[in-house]
Structure 1
Amino acid sequence: MLMGEYQHNMDAKGRVTIPSKYREELGERFYVSRGLDGCLTLYSEEQWQKRVEQINACPEAQAKNIRRFAFASTEAVVPDKQGRILISPSLRAHAGLVKDVTVIGVGLTAEIWDTERWLKYNEEMSSESLLADMTALQI
C-alpha cells in the first residue's frame, strides 16, 4: 500500500527521487503517466496492466479519448542507483514540475505533484466536499 507524502527536488536534468518504500511497491520498472488534477501518476507493472485491460475492454468510439490520454503520455521508467527517475519534458510540463516536488502515496498508485500546486489543491479541498464524496461512495 502506497501511503505518505515526501518532499524532493527535481534536478536540472528532470530527475526525481522516488522514496525507497514506493520503489519496493512499484517494482524495478514502473510507469509514469499524466494524471488528473495536474499531477503525474505512478503505476506498478501490475496496476498498469489492469488499467490497460480496463481501457482496452471499452468500445473504441467511447474510449478513444481515454486511450489517447493514457497511452500517448505514459512512459516505462527504471530508477537509477540513487532511486531517481527521469521525467520527460512533456510530462514535466503537464504537471508544472520545475524544482520542488511532492511525491504522495494514494493506495495502489503514487502521484508526483509540483509542491506549490499540491499545497493549493489541499487548501481548496473542503471538508464538506470530501464528506459528500465519502457519503456518495458509502465510505
Structure 2
Amino acid sequence: MFRGSSSHTLDNKGRFSIPARFKEDIRASGSDALMISSLDGCLVAYPLEEWFKIEEHILSLSEKSESMRRFRRLFVGGAHECPCDKQGRVLIPPDLRSKAALEKEIMLVGVLNHFEIWSQGKYAEEVEKMEIDLQQAEVRNEIAKLRL
C-alpha cells in the first residue's frame, strides 16, 4: 500500500526517482512499470496489477452514459505505461506533465492502491482546500465514518 508524501524533483528529461517505500509495492505487483493517467489536476500512478483491476471494473459497468464514455476515453485513453529504469526512475511523458502542470518540483502522495503526482504548488492548494473543507460539518461527518 502506498502511504505518505514526499517532495521530489523532475530532471531535465521529465524523470523522477521512485522512493524506496514505493518501489516495494510496485515490484510486489510483478512488474517494474506503472500506468499513469491524469485525474483531478494531478497524475495517478498505478502498479500494472492494480491498473488491470480498474480496467476490468470499468468494462463490467453497465453504465453507458455519454459522460462515462468520455471519462473512459480520457482516463484510459490518456494513460501511459511507464517503466522504471535501472536507477529506479520513471519518465513522465510530456503530455501528462503538461496536463498536471508539472515542472521541476513535484509531490508524490500515497493513496493506498496508487500514488498521485502533483506539482508542489497545486498540492499546496489542495491541502488548503481540505483544511477549509474540514470546517464543514458534512465533511467532518463523512470523515467520522472512517472511525479515525
Identity value in percent: 32
AA at the equivalent of 1:4: G
Partner-residue secondary structure (3-state), 1:61: coil
Structure 2 residue aligned with 1:16: 16
Structure 2 residue aligned with 1:45: 48
State the TM-score, normalized to the length of structure 2. Answer: 0.84
Q: Is the helix fraction higher in 1 or 2? A: 1
Q: Give the gaps of 5 or more residues in structure 2.
A: none
For the residues of structure 1 that align with 2:7 and 2:94, how far apart are their CA atoms?
A: 20
For the residues of structure 1 that align with 2:140 and 2:80, how far apart are their CA atoms?
A: 35
Structure 2 residue aligned with 1:81: 86
For the residues of structure 2 that align with 1:10 and 1:43, how far apart are their CA atoms?
A: 19
Partner-residue secondary structure (3-state), 2:135: helix
Q: Which has the larger radius of gyration?
A: 2
Structure 1 residue aligned with 2:129: 124
For the residues of structure 2 that align with 1:78 and 1:19, how far apart are their CA atoms?
A: 15
For residues 1-139 of structure 1, the aligned pairs below 5 Å read 1-27=1-27, 28-36=32-40, 38-59=41-62, 61-62=64-65, 63-125=68-130, 126=132, 127-129=134-136, 130-135=139-144, 138-139=145-146
Root mean square deviation of aligned Cα: 1.5
Q: Give the gaps of 5 or more residues in structure 1.
A: none
Give 1:58 deviation, angstroms: 2.2
State the TM-score, normalized to the length of structure 1. Answer: 0.89
